[in-house]
């Protein structure tokens, strides 16, 4: 592992930007800051130069070496990431579209949604009370799919297959934006290889298509909140409106984004974002989603309005008295659905994400720094050699796969998500404290300003704490509300999606 080093009197490390790299060491005794960069992670040391002639050392490197240029291979890591994503996406498409001609409409709700193909044209009117099952979004998509030449027999399943195949990509982008690149890769593997998601991606039901737009809305909305972007807020609202057109619970992104971003602002976001800017973004998301859904709401007036639909759904509510029994029934179905594909995809995802994290954090940077500095840093910071660390990642991945096959993948993912979210604040604090004590022994008068060489949040496109609070709101809300409803297995999708993201983020996230 090579450690390129740059020295400057005033460095902007907010995005690892490099100001003028000229010779700025002009006088003995000058106060300087040294950014030590490994891959795309950094540490900031502060100290005093005693001799600009290069006869003495600062942090174990002579002044001449400190002025070496920085060379990175960011394109290499990006190409590797894109290649991995493309391969997993194609595999996900394969398992969802494979032998699709053998699929038939079996579920009663499937027949209702597909009635736009076999009932409407004969009766001259939609299936009676179809509005009480779901909004007209999915029947419309099925009807449009039937117009594609050669797709008549698989038309009822095409919307779920296509949007189901695209959902892992959206989850990859979401976890990547919140927690970093390796978290995105893990979420991609887990969702693409989920037996549960694969099964329902091959059924003419609303849950998988609605999930695609729900995740898309939450992902875009989180970026809109962080960037204070009105355009992204409108796009998030449109995606939420599309989910609402497919399933009556499509408004979930509004609850997730408003509660999660409000908690983030209360605990940390108020230092960088005004409350008015947050409120404007939330209002734009809400208004645009309601505007998109308004035609559907208006069409419900013929059957008694939205209140009639809500009253119909209320009949399936079990209440808090059956909360634990319903949750047990949902988990039991998850365990029955879990198989070798789900367990293997989770283990392989952890291995690929971990290896990518090792390579991006340690191996994608080259320069001419002396090997002595590398050894000194490894010894002082307690870093493992890269190949030994990669070996440990592979061993842990294999152990996770074996445990998942015995204890079930959903249970292991739930443990990872709860433990990861609970430790997201504690781990960086403890890690930074350990770094300060160990590094301070070697570099007298220096201060470690950032945390470790493979930081848990590096590479995210927004404040990871914002992603954390949205994830917490999503997970906690779905965990509370889902067991209140009748234990239909497909209703667990929003909760399991929050589990996938939570397991991916704090547990394995962090490589840029």
Mean pLDDT of 313-331: 89
Residues above pLDDT 70, as percent of the chain: 71
Mean pLDDT of 203-214: 95
Q: Do 39 and 138 share a domain, yes or no?
A: no
Q: Do 67 and 42 share a domain, yes or no?
A: yes
Exposed e or buried b for every residue in 29-54, given b needs 16+ CB within 10 A?
A: eeebbbbbbbbbbbbbbebebeeeee
In the chain, how many domains are there? Answer: 3
Range of the domain at 233: 76-103+157-512
Tokens for 339?
Answer: 């198989």
Q: Do 311 and 451 share a domain, yes or no?
A: yes
Q: Is the pLDDT of residue 376 over 60?
A: no
Average pLDDT over all residues of the chain: 76
CB 157 within 8 A of CB 204: yes
Q: Do 292 and 312 share a domain, yes or no?
A: yes
Residue 286 banded pLDDT, cuts 50, 70, 90: very high
CB 253 within 8 A of CB 236: yes
pTM for the model: 0.78
* Calpha distance 181→508 (Å, rounded): 10
Q: Do 398 and 261 share a domain, yes or no?
A: yes
Query: pLDDT tens, 186-200?
Result: 999 999 999 999 999
Angle, CA 218 vertex, CA 201 and CA 326 arms, to 5°:
60
Q: Do 144 and 276 share a domain, yes or no?
A: no
pLDDT of residue 455: 36
Q: Is the pLDDT of residue 306 over 90?
A: no
CB 11 within 8 A of CB 35: yes
Q: Do 25 and 88 share a domain, yes or no?
A: no
The CA distances from residue 309 to 76, 314, 351, 487, in Å, are 53, 9, 46, 19
* 3-state percent breakdown (helix, strand, coil) of the chain, nearest 5: 65, 5, 30
Q: Do 200 and 328 share a domain, yes or no?
A: yes
pLDDT of residue 254: 97
Q: Do 65 and 82 share a domain, yes or no?
A: no
CB 498 within 8 A of CB 474: yes
Q: Is the pLDDT of residue 43 over 90?
A: no
Mean pLDDT of 341-363: 80
Most trustworthy range by pLDDT among 108-112, 140-144, 168-172, 296-300: 168-172
Enter the DSSP assignment of 155.
Answer: T
Q: Do 99 and 114 share a domain, yes or no?
A: no
Query: pLDDT tens, 380-392?
Result: 444 455 667 778 7
Q: Do 99 and 207 share a domain, yes or no?
A: yes
Q: Do 52 and 172 share a domain, yes or no?
A: no
Residue 78 banded pLDDT, cuts 50, 70, 90: confident
Query: pLDDT tens, 466-507?
Result: 999 999 999 999 999 999 998 989 999 999 999 999 998 766
Residue 398 banded pLDDT, cuts 50, 70, 90: confident
Mean pLDDT of 263-272: 91
């Amino acid at each position: 592992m090579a450690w390129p080093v740059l020295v400057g009197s005033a460095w902007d490390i907010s995005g690892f930007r490099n100001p003028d790299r000229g010779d700025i060491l002009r006088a003995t005794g000058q106060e300087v800051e040294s950014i030590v960069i490994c891959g795309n992670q950094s540490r900031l040391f502060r100290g005093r130069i005693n001799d600009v002639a290069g006869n003495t050392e600062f942090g174990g490197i002579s002044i001449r070496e400190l002025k070496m240029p920085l060379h990175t291979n960011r394109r290499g890591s990006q190409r590797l990431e894109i290649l991995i994503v493309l391969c997993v996406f194609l595999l996900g498409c394969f398992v969802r579209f494979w032998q699709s001609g053998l699929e038939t409409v079996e579920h009663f709700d499937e027949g209702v949604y597909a009635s736009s193909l076999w009932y409407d044209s004969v009766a001259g009117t939609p299936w009676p009370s179809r509005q009480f099952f779901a909004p007209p979004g999915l029947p419309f998509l099925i009807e449009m799919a039937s117009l594609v030449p050669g797709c008549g027999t698989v038309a009822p399943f095409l919307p779920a297959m296509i949007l189901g195949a695209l959902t892992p990509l959206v989850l990859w982008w979401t976890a990547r934006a919140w927690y970093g690149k390796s978290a995105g890769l893990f979420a991609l593997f887990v969702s693409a290889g989920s037996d549960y998601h694969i099964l329902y991606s091959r059924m003419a039901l609303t849950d998988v298509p609605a999930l695609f737009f729900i995740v898309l809305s939450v992902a875009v909305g989180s970026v809109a909140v962080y960037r204070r972007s009105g355009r992204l807020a409108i796009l998030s609202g449109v995606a939420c409106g599309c989910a609402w057109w497919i399933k009556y619970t499509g408004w979930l992104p509004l609850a997730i984004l408003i509660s999660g971003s409000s908690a983030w602002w209360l605990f940390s976001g108020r230092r960088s974002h005004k409350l008015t800017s947050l409120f404007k973004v939330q209002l734009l998301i809400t208004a645009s989603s309601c505007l998109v859904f308004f035609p559907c709401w208006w069409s419900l007036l013929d059957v008694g309005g939205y209140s009639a639909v809500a009253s119909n759904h209320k009949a399936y509510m079990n209440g808090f008295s059956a909360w634990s029994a319903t949750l047990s029934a949902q988990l039991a179905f998850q365990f029955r659905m879990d198989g070798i594909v789900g367990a293997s995809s989770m283990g392989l995802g952890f291995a690929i994400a971990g290896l990518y994290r090792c390579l991006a954090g340690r191996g994608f940077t080259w320069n001419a720094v002396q090997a002595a500095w590398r050894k000194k840093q490894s010894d002082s910071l307690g870093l493992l050699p890269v190949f030994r660390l990669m070996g440990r990642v592979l061993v842990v991945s294999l152990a996770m796969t074996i445990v998942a096959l015995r204890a079930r993948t959903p249970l292991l993912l739930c443990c990872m998500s709860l433990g990861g979210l609970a430790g997201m604040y504690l781990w960086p604090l403890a890690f930074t404290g350990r770094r300060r004590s160990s590094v301070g022994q070697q570099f007298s008068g220096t201060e470690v300003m950032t945390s470790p060489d493979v930081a848990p949040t590096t590479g995210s496109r927004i404040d990871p704490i914002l992603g954390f609070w949205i994830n917490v709101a999503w997970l906690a809300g779905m965990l509370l509300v889902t067991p209140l409803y009748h234990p239909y297995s497909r209703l667990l999708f929003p909760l399991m999606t929050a589990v996938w993201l939570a397991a991916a983020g704090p547990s394995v996230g962090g490589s840029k």
